[in-house]
């Protein structure tokens, strides 16, 4: 047998030995690989939780201390919405911790975690898109009923002056369109940055387990 053939035979046998790992060894190996990924997901959820709490406190402060009734109602509504969002993020964070802290079975845990985060992303995106028209409608209603927005010189409301000015109306429509489109793509990018890339890494790890 030639030297090259001997080397090839030895390499083949070493590869077979390396592939023949017990379930415990596979779990340990995959656990090390997933530790950094799940850690980043937990960090992203923790950041979101902190930001949500801070946003809620800011909205509540504006609602309490502002002298304008329209702003008080507007930020009061968003304080309520944020208070509903905080427990959702907290529960997702706890579930992610439980799944990532359990060693076996690795594959099942990863699949459940991917499903959990994908569902969270979907609900987050739906909520954000729903809040765009809702916030705009509330703004228009509050602005229409707010006497502070009236033009004191003509006694016309803000919206009366707006309708009578094609330039202002065009600017407002363009602003609404650009704001909505911008929020759509920003939310897509934001969720991909926080979770999408890590989900892809987890799916690659699942594919390795299935090989």
What is the rounded end-to-end Cα distance, in angstroms, of the chain?
33
What pLDDT, on the 0 to 100 scale, is given for residue 109? 77
What pLDDT, on the 0 to 100 scale, is given for residue 181? 92
Low-confidence winner among 19-28, 91-100, 156-165 (lowest mean pLDDT)? 19-28
What pLDDT, on the 0 to 100 scale, is given for residue 165? 66
Q: Is the pTM of this model over 0.75?
A: no
What integer best gives the mean pLDDT of the chain?
Answer: 77
Positive or negative CA dihedral for 10, 16, 17, 18? positive
What pLDDT, on the 0 to 100 scale, is given for residue 1? 46
Q: Is the pLDDT of residue 147 over 60?
A: no
pLDDT class for 174, splitting at 50, 70, 90?
confident
Locate the domains of the chain by residue range.
25-210
Are 42 and 100 in contact by the 8 Å Cβ rule? The answer is yes
pLDDT class for 103, splitting at 50, 70, 90?
low
Q: Which residue has the higher pLDDT, 74 or 29?
A: 74
């Amino acid at each position: 047998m030639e030297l090259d053939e001997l080397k090839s035979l030895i390499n083949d046998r070493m590869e077979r030995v390396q592939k023949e790992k017990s379930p415990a060894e596979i779990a340990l190996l995959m656990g090390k690989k997933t530790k950094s990924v799940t850690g980043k997901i937990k960090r992203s959820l923790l950041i979101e939780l902190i930001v949500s709490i801070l946003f809620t406190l800011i909205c509540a402060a504006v609602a309490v201390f502002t002298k304008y009734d329209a702003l008080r109602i507007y930020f009061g509504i968003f304080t309520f919405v944020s208070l509903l969002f905080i427990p959702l993020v907290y529960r997702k964070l706890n579930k992610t911790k439980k799944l990532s802290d359990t060693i076996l079975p690795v594959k099942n845990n990863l699949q459940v975690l991917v499903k959990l985060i994908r569902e969270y992303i979907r609900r987050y995106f739906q909520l954000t898109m729903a809040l765009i028209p809702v916030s705009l409608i509330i703004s228009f209603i509050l602005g229409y009923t707010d006497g502070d927005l009236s033009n004191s010189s003509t006694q016309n409301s803000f919206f009366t002056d707006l309708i009578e000015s094609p330039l202002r109306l065009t600017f407002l429509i363009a602003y609404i369109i650009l704001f909505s489109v911008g929020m759509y793509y920003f939310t897509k990018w934001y969720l991909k940055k926080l979770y999408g890339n890590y989900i892809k890494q987890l799916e690659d790890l699942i594919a390795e387990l299935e090989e």
